[in-house]
Structure 1
Amino acid sequence: MALSIRNLSKTYSNGVQALKDVSLEIPKGMFGLLGPNGAGKSSLMRTLATLQEADSGEAWLDDLDVLREKDKLRQVLGYLPQEFGLYPKVSAQMLLEHIASLKGVASRGERRELVEALLHKVNLYPHRKKELGTYSGGMKQRFGIAQALIGNPRLIIVDEPTAGLDPTERNRFHNLLSEIGENTVVILSTHIVDDVTHLCNSMAIISQGQVLEQGRPADIIEGMQGRVWKKTMDKAELVDHLARHQVISSSLYGGRTVLHIYSATDPQEGFEPVEAGLEDVYFHTINQHTHSLPAEVLEAAGKEADTPTLKA
């Protein structure tokens, strides 16, 4: 089972080109689509979920034409958008049974059995009769996954699923997604690097509507080993380094600035080698594409960012 996306493009009526000749090969399992806000991730997700038309290109889920056989795709699709509405006065059990009915589960007994199994799966069974308006953010996200799983989907799309969750809920959500991804194509669209690091066997980095990098996270990270260097300094020293080095990122630790830079050779000046991580790869890839420094680096240096953004 696999999803193949070929030369997909989309331009909105306001002239913004949200997708630019996107091609991806997505195998069974968890696939991370990583990019900054406004990169085009949501535009790609909405196109694959048949919520909007592409201008050109194609997408195939095995032998199913995703863009032209929309009704067939919807029968095997589970979708959890970044924001979704719930009926606040309706219980989780009642709404899930209604959704199951809409998805073609005609037998009342079969619906009840399916919904109870899903509620157990997402750890909401003890709260099944509570009104959805009383649910926490994490509980609502788990409900969203439950509704996406109705009908045994072959393709599941989740868009920014852990944004706003506390660490406990986020960890619980990670475990649930990992279990689901064992037998299904699951696309995880996010700007949170750790989510991809912990969950995904394959991934792509997207920015300004273009795919910049794709492959296995471990392989992508390996290609950057030996080229990441760090130095801890006072904020006043930061500006002096911006003009001389390819800056990857900066962070504060103990009131001082920790700067990561990219260099194929030893940059000297007190820098020391550090093991590359997916965050280094991500920031370096984005910075190279936009020809700009990370916003947090500019902010720390007292400068203003001048990086174009793209509405997803």
Structure 2
Amino acid sequence: MLKIRDLSKTYANGVQALKGISLDIPTGMFGLLGPNGAGKSTLMRTIATLQDADSGSVHLGDLDVLADKTEARRRLGYLPQEFGVYPKVSAMAMLDHFAILKGVVDGRQRKDLVKALLQQVNLWPVRHRKLGTFSGGMRQRFGIAQALIGQPQLIIVDEPTAGLDPQERNRFLNLLAEVGEQVVVILSTHIVEDVTDLCPRMAIIAQGELRLTGEPREAIASLDGRVWKKSVDKAALDEHLAAYTVLSTRLVGGQPVIHVLSDGNPGDGFAAVPPDLEDVYFGELRRAAAGDAAVAKAA
């Protein structure tokens, strides 16, 4: 269990990236949803001991992560949003180097470990290829291989499927699901579908604050009978945005389709639709924005 309590961080430019975040994250896949700039990466970097918090605590079992960073790094696997590689080095040589950095000094043990990890992420057949020739999905799978060195108790992956094609995305997510059967895996993303498909528990963070935590299916069930859909003319879109609690707008065949939150049928051509996690997510972002607007107005 990873326990986060009252974690706060304000940068030198005055941006308050984290505002008293508290979370309990059990073994398995845990989805952390939020838009760009929500504070997800700040939270991940703090847990990964790459930056200090202003206040609060992080415990992994009996380990005080923020106080004992050296031991925390031994128990951690981390795949950052921007995972750089040496393009002219082979996958096998690079993973061997990472294993040395992780303290695997015995040559035979390291050779067996590198082979096992490359097989696990399905990169053994291309082990001699230079990393610069790998596709985006292959690089991400290599990133998971390096994150698994040392049998970590906690793995953090930050926006791992951004830019991947559908096939590579599915392959990568299946790999993450397998890894998440044994350890705590935090999947930080703004892609709602990734969390819906993989994570039995989740949290939504917006503007540095925890907006919602729990099971995706329970969050979705809370909107049963309250989400309505309508296709509208582009000329009437602004009118609908002003008149209704619009969760999302997307173009379908060139025509705007809106999802609206309402306890009763709004009428006027609306039809009920089953809610999904995207409706939950956009609803929380809307409430967060409305709260900030109210604070600004009061000031």
State TM-score, norm by structure 2.
0.96
**CA shift at 1:63, angstroms?**
0.7
Mapping of residues 34-53 of structure 1, within 5 Å: 34-53=33-52
Distance, in Å, in 2 between the alignment partners of 1:207 and 1:216 is: 18
Deviations 1:212-256 (A, max 9, x none): 000000011111111100111221221221121100001111221
**What SS does structure 2 have at the residue aligned with 1:87?**
coil
Give the structure 2 partner of residue 208 of structure 1.
207
Q: How many residues align?
A: 292
Distance, in Å, in 2 between the alignment partners of 1:12 and 1:238 is: 38
Mapping of residues 96-107 of structure 1, within 5 Å: 96-107=95-106
Distance, in Å, in 1 between the alignment partners of 2:232 and 2:143 is: 44
Mapping of residues 136-155 of structure 1, within 5 Å: 136-155=135-154
Deviations 1:247-300 (A, max 9, x none): 0001111221111000011111111111000000000110111029xxxxxxxx
Deviations 1:153-190 (A, max 9, x none): 00000000000000000000010000000010000000
Look up the equivalent residue of 2:172 and give its one-letter code: F
RMSD: 1.1
Look up the equivalent residue of 1:281 and give its one-letter code: V
**CA shift at 1:98, angstroms?**
1.2
Deviations 1:188-211 (A, max 9, x none): 000000000011010000011100
Distance, in Å, in 2 between the alignment partners of 1:90 and 1:255 is: 46
Look up the equivalent residue of 1:194 and give its one-letter code: E
Distance, in Å, in 2 between the alignment partners of 1:190 and 1:150 is: 23
2:252 is the alignment partner of 1:253: yes
Distance, in Å, in 2 between the alignment partners of 1:256 and 1:140 is: 37
State TM-score, norm by structure 1.
0.92
* Percent of aligned pairs sharing the same letter: 63
Give the structure 2 partner of residue 188 of structure 1.
187
Look up the equivalent residue of 2:211 and give its one-letter code: L
Look up the equivalent residue of 1:127 and give its one-letter code: V
Distance, in Å, in 2 between the alignment partners of 1:200 and 1:256 is: 32
Deviations 1:54-74 (A, max 9, x none): 000001111110110111110
Give the structure 1 partner of residue 279 of structure 2.
280
**What SS does structure 2 have at the residue aligned with 1:25?**
strand
Give the structure 2 partner of residue 69 of structure 1.
68
Distance, in Å, in 2 between the alignment partners of 1:241 and 1:99 is: 54
Distance, in Å, in 2 between the alignment partners of 1:118 and 1:244 is: 55
**What SS does structure 1 have at the residue aligned with 2:243?**
coil
Distance, in Å, in 1 between the alignment partners of 2:75 and 2:263 is: 47
2:7 is the alignment partner of 1:5: no
**What SS does structure 2 have at the residue aligned with 1:243?**
helix
Distance, in Å, in 2 between the alignment partners of 1:111 and 1:261 is: 55
**What SS does structure 2 have at the residue aligned with 1:229?**
strand
Give the structure 1 partner of residue 133 of structure 2.
134
Distance, in Å, in 1 between the alignment partners of 2:7 and 2:101 is: 30
4+ residue stretches of structure 1 with deviation over 2 A? none
**What SS does structure 2 have at the residue aligned with 1:19?**
strand
Distance, in Å, in 1 between the alignment partners of 2:276 and 2:225 is: 11
Look up the equivalent residue of 2:71 and give its one-letter code: K
Distance, in Å, in 2 between the alignment partners of 1:37 and 1:115 is: 34
**What SS does structure 2 have at the residue aligned with 1:291?**
helix
